Structures are given as structure tokens and as C-alpha cells.
């Protein structure tokens, strides 16, 4: 039988920097499985987290393609998670990274928060195409 999973708020905040969400997920533990934890995390995000919590999480998230910003803003585990998610952008041409930064600024000016996308496995060029399509 698998051990119960009891994530702490600080550990959850490394995954998603929303205090309301982290408190809700931690309060419902321990969990019998990873699937139970994921289901509770989804439930908390979609049904217990106010829009202000979403904006809190977005504000703490690194901008796509801003590798220097990742190094400056995040140390420790969360930074490692973010850097590994955006690893494909690390080898991108400077012109592509500059264009990503320009489109990130446009997106933030228009919507009031940074552009968020699951970057895992995507090249900088793919992320640029996605932000342009939004």
C-alpha cells in the first residue's frame, strides 16, 4: 500500500504561487494517491480560488523566454522547475527571444497579466507562434 501524501503549503507554493490554492490543497490532505492529490488541486484551482488568486499565481510565474529573469527571480526548486520547463528556449536565437519579450509585453499590456503556456517540449519558435495567435 502506498504511503499517504501530505503536501505542505510551502511545497505547494513551489508549484503554484497562489496562497489560497495552496492552503485549500494542503487542508484536504493527506491524499491516498498522486491522482487524488491532482484531483484536489484541480478542484481547488477551478472552484475555490478567486480570480485574485489566479493573478497572484500569474504574477509569480516567469515570462516565457526570459531566461535571465528566471535566474534573477527564482532560486531553489521553483526556479529549477521553471527553467527545466523552458529549457528549449535556452538555445533559441537572440532575435527569437527578443521577439518573445516584445510579444510578452504586448500581451501583458492588453490583458493585464503575463502570457502563460505549458512550455514543456516546445521550442521558443513554437511559443512565439502561440503567443502571436492569442
Going by C-alpha positions, the residue among 66, 60, 58, 59 that lies closest to residue 104 is 66
Catalytic residue IDs: 61
Going by C-alpha positions, the residue among 15, 50, 46, 44 that lies closest to residue 27 is 44
Residue with cell 538555445: 91
Show contacts of 40-48: CB within 8 Å, 24+ apart: 41/16, 45/16, 45/18, 45/21, 48/20, 48/21, 48/24
> Average pLDDT for residues 60-68, to the nearest whole number?
71
Helix, strand or coil for residue 24?
A: helix
Question: What is the rounded average pLDDT for all residues in the chain?
Answer: 80
Residue with cell 505549458: 118
Predicted local distance difference test score (pLDDT) of residue 21: 95
CB contact set of 80 (below 8 Å; sequence gap of 6+): none
Predicted local distance difference test score (pLDDT) of residue 75: 43
Predicted local distance difference test score (pLDDT) of residue 89: 56
Going from the N-terminus, what domains does the chain have, and what CATH number goes with each? 9-54 (no CATH), 61-133 (1.10.3330.10)
Is 84 a residue whose pLDDT tops 80? no
Amino acid at each position: 500500500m502506498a504511503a499517504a501524501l501530505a503536501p505542505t503549503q510551502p511545497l505547494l507554493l513551489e508549484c503554484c504561487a497562489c496562497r489560497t490554492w495552496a492552503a485549500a490543497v494542503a487542508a484536504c490532505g493527506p491524499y491516498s494517491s498522486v491522482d487524488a492529490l491532482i484531483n484536489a488541486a484541480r478542484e481547488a484551482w477551478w472552484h475555490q480560488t478567486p480570480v485574485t488568486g489566479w493573478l497572484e499565481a500569474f504574477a509569480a510565474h516567469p515570462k516565457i523566454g526570459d531566461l535571465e529573469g528566471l535566474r534573477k527571480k527564482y532560486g531553489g526548486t521553483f526556479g529549477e522547475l521553471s527553467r527545466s520547463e523552458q529549457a528549449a528556449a535556452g538555445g533559441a536565437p537572440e532575435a527569437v527571444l527578443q521577439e518573445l519579450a516584445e510579444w510578452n509585453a504586448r500581451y501583458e499590456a492588453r490583458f493585464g497579466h503575463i502570457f502563460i503556456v505549458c512550455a514543456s517540449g516546445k521550442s521558443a519558435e513554437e511559443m512565439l507562434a502561440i503567443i502571436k495567435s492569442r
